[in-house]
Amino acid sequence: MRRKVIAGNWKMNMLPNEAMTFIEQITPMVKSTQNEVILCVPYTDLFYCLLGVQNTNIKIGAQNMHWEEKGGYTGEVSAQMLKSIGVEYVIIGHSERRQYFAEKDETVNKKIKSALQHELKPIICVGESLEQREQGKQTEIITEQTKLALEGLDSNQVKKCMIAYEPIWAIGTGKTATSEDANEAIKSIRNEIRNLYGDEVANEIIILYGGSVKSENSKELFSTSDIDGGLVGGASLKPEEFAKICLSV
C-alpha cells in the first residue's frame, strides 16, 4: 500500500508572520495523521517554517530551484542552498512556471537531476491545457511530459520522485477533474512509468492530483485506486481547510 501525501502549494502568498501563525494553528490539527503533510512555501518563508515545524510531522518544500550549483544566475536559488537549510522537497515544473517563466521539459529534467543529486525530493508537475484536453490529447501530453522529466534517471532515482498530475484548466478555477478522469489520467502516468522502469517502481511511486482540491472533494479523489493524495493550492492557505484535506483519508 502506498502512503497518502498531501502537499500544500502556497504559491506567492504568506508573509513570515502569517506563515508562523499558520504552522502554530495547523500543527495540533494534523498531529495524529499517518498521511505525509508537506508545505511548499515561498523562499522568504522557508527558514521560519523549518523552525516552526521542528518536532512536528509537517515537512517543508520549496516551489522551484535552479539546476546549477552556484554562479552568475542573479535571483536564482540552487538545490544545494535549499538542502543546506533543511528543505526536503521541491516542486519542479509547475504549470505556472511553464506558462509564465518559460520552464521547458528540458530544464525540468535538469532541475530534477540536480535536486536528486543534493538529496531533495522533487514533486514533478505535469498536466494538459484545456485546448489539449478538448483535442483528446491529454494522455499523450502527460505521458510525454513524464517521460521527458525522468529522462536519464535510474529506477532508484525515479522512486524518490513524486509526480503531481495537475490539469491546467483545473488550477485555481474551481473546476476539478472528476475523480474518474483524474484517476484515469494518473493510471496512464503510472503505466508510462511501468513501461519505462518496471512494475516495482510503478507500484511504489507516489502520484498526486492537483487542481481545485478542497475538503468537499478530497476524500472522493484520494480514495480512488491510483491517486495517492493531492497538491493543493488555494485551499492550503487556510489551516482548518487544509487540515480537513489532510485528514480526509
For residue 41, report the phi and psi dihedrals to the nearest 5 degrees.
-120, 165
Q: Which of 4, 6, 9, 153 binds ligand PGA (CB under 6 A)?
A: 9
Does position 211 bind ligand PGA by CB under 6 A? yes
Distances (CA, A) of 110 to 104, 105, 150, 242: 10, 9, 9, 31
Alpha helix stretches (DSSP H) within the chain: 16-30, 43-52, 79-85, 95-100, 105-117, 130-134, 138-150, 155-159, 179-197, 199-204, 218-222, 239-246
Does position 130 bind ligand PGA by CB under 6 A? no
Does position 212 bind ligand PGA by CB under 6 A? yes
Q: Which of 90, 233, 239, 248 binds ligand PGA (CB under 6 A)?
A: 233
Residues 6 or more apart in contact with residue 54 via CB below 8 angstroms: none
Stretch that binds ligand PGA, among 138-146, 194-202, 204-212, 241-249 (CB under 6 A): 204-212
Residue with Cβ nearer ligand PGA (9 or 157): 9
SS3 state of residue 177: coil
Q: Which residue is nearest to ligand PGA (CB)?
A: 233
Nearest distance from residue 179's CB to ligand PGA, in Å?
A: 15
So which residues are the catalytic ones?
Answer: 94, 166
* Contacting residues toward ligand PGA, per CB under 6 A: 9, 166, 171-172, 210-213, 231-235
